[in-house]
Chains A and B, each alone.
Chain A
Amino acid sequence: MGVGLSDEENRKQFAGIVVPHLSEAFAVASWLTGNRTDAEDVVQEACLRAFRAIGSFAGANARAWVLTIVRHTAYSWLAKNRPSEIVAVEDFLGEERLTEQCIGGWSATVTSTPETALLAKLDVRRLEAAIAALPLAFREVLILRDLQGLEYREIAEVTTLPVGTVMSRLARARRRIIGAVRTTDA
């Protein structure tokens, strides 16, 4: 239980700090685990952890605090149930360079219009598949930024990554999705 707080006070704290972010916690857990059922388990476990730790919440950013716990719980869950998802990021970088060479990076000959139009009327299922196919390390940054709207430093706080790494992973994640859409389309 929280440090020196009664259960009643803990519950009150929990209602004010954690409950308002449950929807977002669930959305993040869904994207990290890839399905709703697993997300429910992760969110419930995360909430119990948050409740036990509620006395240690420092009061700066409740949303980031909650999402940090959700992410941590999702990682533990994945390590236990789907260890293959947790792969060192370095393993992706080599592969990525290769891919980029294949698709020619951001070639100026590929002018913006066709792809911009393509993305704008993109099939939702294809977009979701592209996100699901992202390695976890990239997916989480993309989700926190582009779906949940966190700022870079909030993402850094949640993921315990340096801001520069957040920035580079986000760029990579977005490129991968654009690349995937382009490839599937061809």
Chain B
Amino acid sequence: MTNDSTRVPDDDSQLVHAYLDGELDPAHAIVVARKIAASPALAAEFEQTRALRQALREHLPPRALPPHLRSRIEAAVGMRRRWTRRSWQALAASIAIAFVLAGGSTWAVLRPAAGDRTATAVLDGHMRGLMAPHPTDINSSERHMVKPWFNGRIPQAPRVVDLAQEGFPLIGARVDVIDNTPVPTLVYGRRLHIISLSAIPDEGSAGGAAARRSINGYNVVSWRENGVSYWAVSDLGIGELETFAQQFRKAPAG
């Protein structure tokens, strides 16, 4: 503990950082909070560091993975990133032969269920967004700007909610084309990660629990609600993406 308010022992100063980062156990956190309250110098360090952390989180443009690098890496280890249309056709032809030869279960593996096709299409939209200079067609964190933007572009504007408080700030929106239909996609952020949330009209479907998939390292969480099927895609961990889905579902409609 120091009473010298102009020079601060290095240890105390470091503890301020650990305190800000939530790395202290509760007992130490209380001690450090008291020291900050008692020392203007520590308080200054606390405030400035907090501002810096925020600036780093919010203002630095993400270093987005170039799509060709992903393909190159997956090719290098003998994986394919995603099936292109052409490779599907080639594969279908070769599998037809294999099917005749081997018979049986191969088709079950190959033919994707409708949900998987949608998931892949939604992922395509997400990837296109990441490749473009901006992942959005409209940049706005204001849901009252985003919602009207969809008018005239798609038949029905989606539900737009503000999740900044929950740590998923709204970044903007774009229109994706899925199964030849323009579909509204909201774009949210999480640290430097991007979440695309597409809302696809799906009449006649009841609400339901969220389903999760993993496609080429991207996580996809989907659920249905009020005649809309929602698809959230991100490179975030599945846990955080499911948290996002829960927050979106329970937020009041906007």
| A residues with CB within 8 A of B | 7, 10-11, 14-16, 19-27, 30-31, 36, 39-40, 43-44, 47-48, 51, 63, 105-112, 115-116, 119-120, 122, 124, 127-128, 142, 145-149, 151-152, 167-168, 170-171, 174-175, 177-178
Interface string of B54-71 (1 = CB under 8 A from A): 111101111111100110
For B60, what are the chain A residues with a Cβ–Cβ distance below 8 Å? 124, 127-128, 147
Main SS at interface, chain A:
helix
Interface string of B89-131 (1 = CB under 8 A from A): 0000000000000000000000000000000000000000000
For B41, what are the chain A residues with a Cβ–Cβ distance below 8 Å? 105-108
A30 to B60, CA, bound (A): 13
**B48 at the binding interface (Cβ < 8 Å):** yes
Q: Is the CB of A106 within 8 A of B79?
A: no
CB contact under 8 A between A119 and B40, given known A7-B78, A20-B217, A26-B65: no
For A36, what are the chain B residues with a Cβ–Cβ distance below 8 Å? 63, 66
**B74 at the binding interface (Cβ < 8 Å):** yes
A68 to B154, CA, bound (A): 45
In-complex Cβ contact of B76 among A15, A44, A146 (8 A): A44
Q: Is the CB of A11 within 8 A of B63?
A: no
Q: Is the CB of A22 within 8 A of B73?
A: yes
Q: Is the CB of A23 within 8 A of B235?
A: yes
In-complex Cβ contact of B219 among A20, A22, A116, A171 (8 A): A20
For A122, what are the chain B residues with a Cβ–Cβ distance below 8 Å? 55, 59
A145 to B21, CA, bound (A): 9
Q: Is the CB of B63 within 8 A of A111?
A: no
Q: Is the CB of B217 within 8 A of A167?
A: no
Instruction: Name the CB-closest residue of B to A143.
Output: B56
Segment of B3-11, B27-35, B139-147 engaged in the interface with chain A: B3-11
**B243 at the binding interface (Cβ < 8 Å):** no
Q: Is the CB of A22 within 8 A of B65?
A: yes
Q: Nearest 5 CB-CB pairs, A to B? A: A19-B217, A112-B47, A119-B51, A108-B40, A30-B63
Interface string of B232-252 (1 = CB under 8 A from A): 000101000000000000000
Question: B58 to chain A: closest CB distance in Å?
Answer: 9
22 A-B contact pairs sorted by A residue (CB < 8 Å):
A11-B78, A15-B79, A23-B64, A24-B235, A27-B62, A40-B66, A43-B73, A48-B76, A51-B76, A106-B8, A108-B44, A112-B43, A119-B54, A127-B55, A146-B53, A146-B56, A148-B192, A149-B191, A167-B23, A170-B21, A171-B14, A171-B17
Question: A157 to chain B: closest CB distance in Å?
Answer: 14
Instruction: Name the CB-closest residue of A to B193.
Output: A23
Question: A118 to chain B: closest CB distance in Å?
Answer: 8
A16 to B217, CA, bound (A): 7
For A15, what are the chain B residues with a Cβ–Cβ distance below 8 Å? 79, 216-217
A110 to B23, CA, bound (A): 27
A14 to B5, CA, bound (A): 53
Instruction: Name the CB-closest residue of A to B46.
Output: A112
CB contact under 8 A between A120 and B54, given known A14-B79, A36-B66: yes
Q: A22-B217, A146-B56, A167-B17 are in contact. List 11 more A-B contacts (CB 8 A).
A: A20-B219, A22-B70, A23-B65, A39-B63, A47-B73, A106-B8, A115-B48, A116-B48, A116-B50, A170-B17, A178-B52
